């Protein structure tokens, strides 16, 4: 019988990969707490309308990539392709639109049916942060500063660049969309088939195109700067000023856009050259219209999401396996004392494992294989004298220690 394998586009996260993964999430949780964010967990599947409304009925995610199915009750359910929509739905569902601001951190799996490639899976994982209920540009700067803080704590500051743009307010965006349509309409025949389709449905998405022919046209396309209202210009100036005050370096990239109307003002991406074509590791922006799409009141919001897999790939090396102590009873009669000692070590926050079977040689081999820092050996003679033998595996030295002092000795 053939051994079963993971479904294409999924993978098991084990060993070094898991330690990298946990390190990214742990660093993000720690930094988010420092900034006053609380962690939320929302369901991994939602009513399909949660995503169809917010991602756009004609977007590639909705039409090609979502895992959508009818459950046994006939309801249309979708595995979440991203989590900002779920967070906004939770805000409204739990009656929290009157308890603002809300500063939310999350971590968990997302699902998209797309071609698997380096750093991209059909089940992938993200960390994210949302700051809901604050219209001031300081909120944009602080959410970006949190992202930069996490990347710095992970040792990735030298590997990523923050690219920043503005989408302006509604008036600015409408004027810019008109200019973009006028420009690309004049070059319609030179656009790729996808971009010709976008010109009719969502023209700003053309600026995201990776097609080489499109890229040549995009390089000469108008930028939003000339179409910003004075108010939108001041908002962007303040974001840049606050980022400088918070010590966050950035470059400006006028080609960063978002295709849906509820996005406004700040758009940003942290990018790297170390992952080939999959260069964006964290991206976000302001989405003042999204909560209203969920049935709530108009509510300002800004946030970002980052791929855990991609961040894990950038780590210089996997965190080491946690140091442990191996407890080895040399006889069946020694096992009760060994088990009592094992639990005592754990109560003192010392990671400890027992060797389950085999002779002394095999148990020592197991201790070395799990990377034990020390071995506690309990023989009948030692127990009779109220002591154990502790061998330091880094130096090879062996010491006798009284049974009651083992935890304090190893705690040093």
Nearest C-alpha neighbor of 94 from the set 238, 294, 287: 294
What is residue 118's predicted lDDT score, i.e. its pLDDT? Answer: 67
Q: Do both 86 and 122 map to the same domain?
A: yes
- The pTM (predicted TM-score) of the whole model is 0.90
- Segment 336-368, tens digit of pLDDT: 999 999 999 999 999 999 977 878 888 888 888
Question: Residue 119 has what pLDDT?
Answer: 65
Paired tokens of 124: 């992938």
Does residue 4 form part of some domain? no
Examine the domain organization and report whether 27 and 57 are in the same domain: yes
64 and 145 together in one domain: yes
**Percentage of residues of the chain with pLDDT beyond 90:** 70
The rounded distance, in Å, linking the Cα atoms of 53 and 191 is 28
Count of structural domains, the chain: 2
pLDDT at 25 over 60: yes
- Mean pLDDT over each residue of the chain, to the nearest integer: 92
In a shared domain, residues 340 and 281: no
Whether 186 is covered by a domain: the verdict is no
Instruction: Say yes or no to pLDDT of 7 above 80.
Output: yes
What CATH number should be reported for the domain holding residue 86? 3.30.930.10
pLDDT-derived band of residue 371, with 50, 70 and 90 as boundaries?
Answer: confident
- Among 294, 314, 334, give the residue marking a domain's end: 314
| Average pLDDT of the segment spanning 264-283 | 89
Predicted pLDDT at 60: 65
Strand order in the sheet with 324-329: 352-354, 324-329, 372-378, 387-392, 398-402
Sign of CA dihedral 117, 252, 84, 48: negative
Query: Are 48 and 161 members of one domain?
Result: yes
Over 90: is that where the pLDDT of 411 sits? Answer: no
Q: For residue 337, give the CATH number of its domain.
A: 3.40.50.800
Same domain, 358 and 250: no
Domain end marker among 314, 342, 373: 314
Residues 310 and 331 in one domain: no
Give residue-wise pLDDT tens across range 383-396.
999 999 999 998 99
Q: What is the pLDDT of residues 220-261, one digit of tens each?
A: 999 999 899 999 999 999 999 999 999 999 999 998 887 666
Report the pLDDT value the prediction gives residue 175, as an integer from 0 to 100: 93
Q: What is the mean pLDDT of residues 50-54?
A: 83
What are the Cα distances from residue 51, in Å, to 90, 210, 262?
13, 24, 13
Q: What residue numbers bound the domain in which 393 lies?
A: 324-411
| Integer Cα distance of 332 and 338 in angstroms | 10
Q: Is the same domain home to 300 and 367? A: no
Average pLDDT over residues 133-153: 98
Of 272, 293, 314, at which residue does a domain stop? 314
> Is residue 342 assigned to a domain?
yes
Query: Do 328 and 305 share a structural domain?
Result: no
pLDDT higher than 70, residue 399: yes
pLDDT digits (tens, 9 = 90+) for 94-134: 999 999 999 999 999 999 998 877 667 999 999 999 999 99
On whether both 235 and 145 belong to a single domain, the answer is yes
Q: Do residues 233 and 378 both lie within one domain?
A: no
Is 182 a residue whose pLDDT tops 80?
yes
Contact by Cβ (8 Å): 15, 259: no
- Alpha helices, DSSP H, located in 297-374: 308-314, 335-347, 360-369
Flag whether 175 is in a domain. no
């Amino acid at each position: 019988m053939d051994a079963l394998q993971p479904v294409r586009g999924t993978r098991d996260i084990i060993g070094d990969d898991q330690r990298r993964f946990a390190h990214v999430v742990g660093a993000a949780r720690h930094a988010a707490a420092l900034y006053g964010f609380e962690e939320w967990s929302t369901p991994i599947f939602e009513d399909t309308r949660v995503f169809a409304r917010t991602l756009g009925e004609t977007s590639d995610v909705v039409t090609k990539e979502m895992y959508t199915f009818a459950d046994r009750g006939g309801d249309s359910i979708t595995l979440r392709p991203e989590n900002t929509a779920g967070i906004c739905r939770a805000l409204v569902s739990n009656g929290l639109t009157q308890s603002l601001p809300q500063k939310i951190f999350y971590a968990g799996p997302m699902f998209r049916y797309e071609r698997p490639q380096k750093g991209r899976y059909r089940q992938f994982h993200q960390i994210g942060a949302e700051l809901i209920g604050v219209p001031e540009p300081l909120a944009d700067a602080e959410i970006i500063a949190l992202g930069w803080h996490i990347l710095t704590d992970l040792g990735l500051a030298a590997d990523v660049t923050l690219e920043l743009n503005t989408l302006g307010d509604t008036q600015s965006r409408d004027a810019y969309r008109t200019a973009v349509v006028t420009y690309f309409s004049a070059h319609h025949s030179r656009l790729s088939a996808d971009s010709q389709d976008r010109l009719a449905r969502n023209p700003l998405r053309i600026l995201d195109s990776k097609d080489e022919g499109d890229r040549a046209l995009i390089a000469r396309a108008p930028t939003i700067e000339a179409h910003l209202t004075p108010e939108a210009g001041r908002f962007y100036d303040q974001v840049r000023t606050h980022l400088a005050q918070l010590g966050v370096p950035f470059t400006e990239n006028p080609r960063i856009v978002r295709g849906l109307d509820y996005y406004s003002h700040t758009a940003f991406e942290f990018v790297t050259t170390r992952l080939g074509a999959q260069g964006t590791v964290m991206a976000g922006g302001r989405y003042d219209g999204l909560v209203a799409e969920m049935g709530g009141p108009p509510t300002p919001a800004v946030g970002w999401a980052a791929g855990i897999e991609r961040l894990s790939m950038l780590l210089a090396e996997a965190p080491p396996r946690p140091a442990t102590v191996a407890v080895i009873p040399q006889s069946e009669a020694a096992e009760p004392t060994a088990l009592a000692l094992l639990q005592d070590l754990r109560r003192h926050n010392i990671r400890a494992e027992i060797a389950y079977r085999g002779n002394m040689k095999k148990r020592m081999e197991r201790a070395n294989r799990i990377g034990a820092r020390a071995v506690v050996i309990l023989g009948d003679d030692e127990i009779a004298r109220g002591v154990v033998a502790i061998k330091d595996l880094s130096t090879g030295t062996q010491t006798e220690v009284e049974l009651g002092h083992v935890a304090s000795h190893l705690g040093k």
